Structure 1
Amino acid sequence: MLAWLAVLSILGMLLALVLYRQRNAEEALVEAERQWQHFQQQTKQYASYQPEMSYYFAHREGWQTSGLMQLPDFDQWESAWAKMQQQFSLPHLAYQIQPSMACPGGQCRQQWPLKQLPELNFTVTPIQLSWSVLHELDVSPWLRALQRQYHGMLLVRRCQWQLAEQAGSIAVQCDLAMFNFPNVLASAGSS
């Protein structure tokens, strides 16, 4: 009888051990399934970012070259305006670069051209251009070329046209906004 009790006790302990290991295996399986589902969700989410990432990597070098991803370099812009004056024969072009405004967390709503604000912090620098021309067509193609060259960075907000005191010339004043997104994906930019 004692032998049977000993055998039953041993069998009971083995059964308890088997059930304990089975429960641990089931818990590990549930955790592995949860991690797999999380991994699948992350993969789908990252795949949804692929068009934006492809666009970013295709344009990153141009944006870095133009300075879109750094704080504004006013010395660089001074030389850029001087170069543009010579290149486009705009001897009367005068410019005034105003101080930059930091726009963290969706501030500067009136500065952003679209209804939906970007989720990233940005800076905006107002620039005022003024010069005199003989005809409006002396200005319009140049402004379009300027916006194309600095696409996504310079926005022509408005231009005012007035007959100048000199007969036959037009005084033009345009307000521009220069946008920068400093430190955007800085780690990707350094790779």
Structure 2
Amino acid sequence: MFKSAKESQVTITQLMLPSHSNFSGKIHGGFILNLMDQIAFACASKYSRHYCVTASVNKVDFLNPIDVGDLVTLKASINFTGRTSMVVGVRVESENIQTGKKKHCNSSYFTMVAKDETGKNVPVPGLILETEQGVRRFARSVARLQQTIHRTSRFKPSEFKVEEHLDDLKDHNVKISLIEK
């Protein structure tokens, strides 16, 4: 079975309250991450028709701060489907209610896995790619997956060779003082 990304799309909007702020008066990043995880869950569960769990979150960059009183809108859509997993693209925008000015605050990719009632992974529908943007998002997810596999194996403790990386570190704010075992 295959479904379109449109069948997965979820949008939520929430007013940012003082209780959501950090010590600098901006909205706490952890609160936004919680909202992002919730919408990723809703999107993946809606698409797969199963409860889903978060397997990983790919890079979250906080691009712009969010102020108390802003409306925050989160948009989520399925970008990629594997056998039992899905990559959900999440975009966060804030809007100043008084000026109407909108800011892109962050985007991230959540890998979600569909589960049955006993907690076992279950297959998910394949994705119908209907637009160039859909093909780009799917291809980008495949590339991220391949990079993750390469990065994980390259830095595996049993295969890591310190001497291959010492030159790479010399221009960084680090002092290397290895202690012999």
TM-score by length of 2: 0.24
Q: Which has the higher helix share?
A: 1
Query: Which of 1 and 2 has higher RCO (CA within 8 Å, sep 6+)?
Result: 2
TM-score by length of 1: 0.23
Q: Which has the higher strand share?
A: 2
Which of the two has higher C-alpha Rg? Answer: 1
